[in-house]
């Protein structure tokens, strides 16, 4: 079966319909007819109601019952992430290039309201199913970064910023890796984009006496906490002359992105920018107050 790539990032919201009068198209028409049928809708509602009764769940944003993210909050999240934006000016620890400019970072949205609630629940409340809500905004941000940051015609590799082994064991999954997997399955990435896990945290690291008194965040920002992995992939990608787009969930100070960029630069892979789901506001930035209820 031919691998079809849809350049439109909004295509992720739509179901794939094969061109022409193929058997698959015929079955999709029948599926559509079944889906909008009144009896089928009643059965689906009954099943959903029973499931909500047996396994009660509230919206992670507004606490309305019966769905992990209610229709209203999902719509608000989509609206908040319609226009990805450059956010490197908010993070003071990003690496600088030769012209003293920080590493460019594109964020799908601001870390507040529905987006913050969904990211928090996805990462820390054992709700990996919320990836389906977060993949479309990430796809839009990746598309924007591809258009504005990546050199045209050069292959691009999306590299997830790793999480520490301790956090990964606690969650049981790798949040950014799950999102990139969803992005790949949705087939919205242009053909010249590959996805590879090339960076990991070092297994053991000795804290110096100067670092011992600091908090976990400050210690995590020290150099040499990450290294590259997959020697063969690295050599193959370096030979292809690829450029790297780092992918992370939330941008705060940018120290994690800086460390990942350092590890990749040592392996000979240039980083052209980074994509994040959300960026925390700069300290002097005024935020509009909006209720999520």
285: Cα separation from own chain's centroid: 24
Nearer to Zn ion, 62 or 127 (CB): 62
Q: What is the DSSP letter of 69?
A: S
Nearer to Zn ion, 58 or 270 (CB): 58
| Rounded CA separation 32/63 (Å) | 31
> Which residues, including other chains, have CB under 8 Å from residue 3's CB and lie 6 or more apart?
187
Nearer to Zn ion, 59 or 130 (CB): 59
> In whole angstroms, how close is the CB of 292 to Zn ion at the nearest point?
7
> In whole angstroms, how close is the CB of 112 to Zn ion at the nearest point?
15
> In whole angstroms, how close is the CB of 163 to Zn ion at the nearest point?
27
Nearer to Zn ion, 70 or 103 (CB): 70
Footprint of Zn ion (CB under 5 A): 59, 61-62, 64, 70, 73
Q: Positive or negative, the Cα torsion across 7, 13, 16, 20?
A: negative
> In whole angstroms, how close is the CB of 64 to Zn ion at the nearest point?
5
Exposure of 112 by Cβ count < 10 A (0-12 exposed, 13-18 middle, 19+ buried)?
middle
Instruction: Give all strands of the β-sheet with 85-86 in edge-to-edge order.
Output: 85-86, 105-110, 271-279, 243-251, 156-160, 193-195
Nearer to Zn ion, 62 or 227 (CB): 62
Exposure of 14 by Cβ count < 10 A (0-12 exposed, 13-18 middle, 19+ buried)?
exposed
> In whole angstroms, how close is the CB of 185 to Zn ion at the nearest point?
26
| Rounded CA separation 17/25 (Å) | 6
Nearer to Zn ion, 67 or 265 (CB): 67
| Rounded CA separation 84/106 (Å) | 6
> In whole angstroms, how close is the CB of 141 to Zn ion at the nearest point?
23
Nearer to Zn ion, 28 or 120 (CB): 120
> In whole angstroms, how close is the CB of 70 to Zn ion at the nearest point?
3
Which residue blocks in the chain are alpha helix, DSSP H? 23-36, 38-54, 71-80, 113-124, 131-148, 165-171, 175-185, 209-212, 216-220, 231-240, 255-266
């Amino acid at each position: 079966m031919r691998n079809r790539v849809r350049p439109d990032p909004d295509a992720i919201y739509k179901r794939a319909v094969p061109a022409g009068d193929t058997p698959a198209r015929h079955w999709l028409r029948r599926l559509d007819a079944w889906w909008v049928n009144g009896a089928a809708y009643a059965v689906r509602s009954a099943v959903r109601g029973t499931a909500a009764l047996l396994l009660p769940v509230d919206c992670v944003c507004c606490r309305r019952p019966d769905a992990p993210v209610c229709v209203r909050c999902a719509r608000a999240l989509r609206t908040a992430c319609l226009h990805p934006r450059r956010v490197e000016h908010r993070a003071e620890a990003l690496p600088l290039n030769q012209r003293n400019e920080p590493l460019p970072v594109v964020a799908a949205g601001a870390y507040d309201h529905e987006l913050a609630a969904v990211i928090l629940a996805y990462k820390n409340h054992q709700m990996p199913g919320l990836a389906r809500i977060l993949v479309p905004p990430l796809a839009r941000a990746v598309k924007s970064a591809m258009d504005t940051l990546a050199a045209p015609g050069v292959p691009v590799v999306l590299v997830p910023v790793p999480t520490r082994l301790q956090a990964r064991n606690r969650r049981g999954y790798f949040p950014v890796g799950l999102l990139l997997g969803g992005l790949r399955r949705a087939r919205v990435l242009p053909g010249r984009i590959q996805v590879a896990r090339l960076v990991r945290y070092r297994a053991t690291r000795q804290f110096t006496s100067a670092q011992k008194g600091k908090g976990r965040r400050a210690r995590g920002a020290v150099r040499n906490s990450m290294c590259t992995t997959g020697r063969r992939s690295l050599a193959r990608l370096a030979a292809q002359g690829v450029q790297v787009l780092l992918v992370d969930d939330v941008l705060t100070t940018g120290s994690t992105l800086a460390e990942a960029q350092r590890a990749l630069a040592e392996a000979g892979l240039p980083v052209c920018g980074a994509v994040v789901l959300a960026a925390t506001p700069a300290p002097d930035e005024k935020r509009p107050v909006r209720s999520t209820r």
